[in-house]
Structure formats: structure tokens, C-alpha cells
């Protein structure tokens, strides 16, 4: 989930924990959107896992909140699998983000310590406000983009790469 790297501030080795649920959920949704364009059959968790280089059980866990929100429908059995629950033009990236991360804040404040100065006395309150503002900006940016917009952007990137070859 994270990686160890060098801190630009102090030069020490630190664990940089990066949450990848949104990026994986978005990739999964993009795959379903492209399959939907081709009237393809539903994609199984094993097929999606193969494309995501992930475990099928992880894919099933990613699908649960997407299904609960109606963004994906799943059918069990031999002919089952996942498909979009709504047209790609009607699904925003903000919806996918909310499903992927749930109520987890964008950032977490470090634990409370002894309140000995201006910073330690008010840092948690300040950080909570800063986090709320940043998350609001993220959601606003993602709310302006649909899944279909994202597929078009991917195709544009692919066309540019092909033109450069």
C-alpha cells in the first residue's frame, strides 16, 4: 500500500503511505465503461483482477461500495460478472472517489500531544479545517468529470502516443 522513500524535509527514510483504492476503483470503472461501449459481456472479478494486476478478492472488495451506490451491477454464476449500473456519462469521478475511500479523510492529523504552545494547542483544529477545504476542492474537481470524459481523455492520450511513434 505504501513505499519507503527519502523525506525531502529531513533526508531520513520514512514510510510514505499512499492510498490506492481510488486509483484502482477508477481503473476498474474505466474498464467496465470501455466494455460497456462494446456491448461486451460482464467482466468477472478474475478478468478485472488480471487487468489490474490484483487479487480477485481485492476486486470483489472494491466492487462492494460501487454496487451499493448503484454504479455497478453484478451477477453471480458462470455468465455473471460486473457491468456499469448507469451510463458512463451519468457517473462522476467524485462518486467513484466517495465509494472507494468512504468516510476516510484525505489526510489524517498526527495524534494529539501535550498542548504546550500555539501550534500544539490549535494544530488539530486547523488541520481538520485545512483537510475539509482540500477534500472539498478534490470533490469539486472530480465532480466536474464523468467516467465517459475520462475514457475520452484516455483515448486522446493513446492517439497522441500513436502519433509520436
Tell me what pLDDT residue 165 has: 81
Would the pLDDT of 138 be above 80?
yes
pLDDT digits 0-9 by tens, 15-27: 334 578 899 999 9
Q: What is the pLDDT of residue 157?
A: 93
Over residues 119-147, mean pLDDT? 89
Q: What are 75-83's contacts with CB under 8 Å, separation 24+?
A: 75/42, 79/41, 79/42, 80/42, 80/44, 81/41, 81/42, 81/43, 81/44, 81/45, 81/47, 82/28, 82/32, 82/42, 82/43, 82/44, 82/45, 82/48, 83/32, 83/35, 83/36, 83/42, 83/43
- pLDDT, tens digit, 9 for 90 and up, residues 78-125: 878 999 999 999 999 999 999 998 877 777 767 667 777 888 888 888
The dotted CATH code for 21-164 is 1.10.10.10
Hey, is 106 helix, strand or coil?
Answer: coil
Using the structure block, give the residue that is written with the C-alpha cell 481523455: 153
- Extract long-range pairs of 157-161: CB within 8 Å, 24+ residues apart: none
Domain ranges within the chain, ordered by starting residue: 21-164
pLDDT tens figures, 4-53: 444 444 444 433 345 788 999 999 999 999 999 987 779 999 999 999 99
Amino acid at each position: 500500500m505504501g513505499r519507503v522513500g527519502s523525506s525531502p524535509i529531513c533526508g531520513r527514510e520514512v514510510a510514505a503511505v499512499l492510498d490506492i483504492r481510488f486509483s484502482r476503483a477508477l481503473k476498474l470503472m474505466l474498464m467496465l465503461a470501455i466494455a460497456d461501449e462494446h456491448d461486451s459481456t460482464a467482466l468477472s472479478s478474475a478478468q478485472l483482477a488480471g487487468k489490474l494486476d490484483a487479487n480477485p478478492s481485492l476486486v470483489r472488495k472494491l466492487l462492494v461500495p460501487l454496487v451499493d451506490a448503484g454504479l455497478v451491477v453484478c451477477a453471480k454464476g458462470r455468465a455473471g460478472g460486473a457491468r456499469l449500473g448507469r451510463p458512463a456519462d451519468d457517473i462522476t469521478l467524485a462518486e467513484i472517489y466517495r465509494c472507494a475511500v468512504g468516510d476516510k479523510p484525505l489526510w489524517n492529523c498526527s495524534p494529539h500531544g501535550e498542548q504546550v504552545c500555539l501550534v500544539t494547542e490549535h494544530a488539530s483544529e486547523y488541520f481538520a479545517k485545512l483537510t475539509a477545504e482540500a477534500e472539498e476542492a478534490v470533490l469539486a474537481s472530480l465532480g466536474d468529470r464523468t467516467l465517459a470524459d475520462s475514457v475520452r481523455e484516455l483515448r486522446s492520450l493513446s492517439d497522441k502516443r500513436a502519433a509520436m511513434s
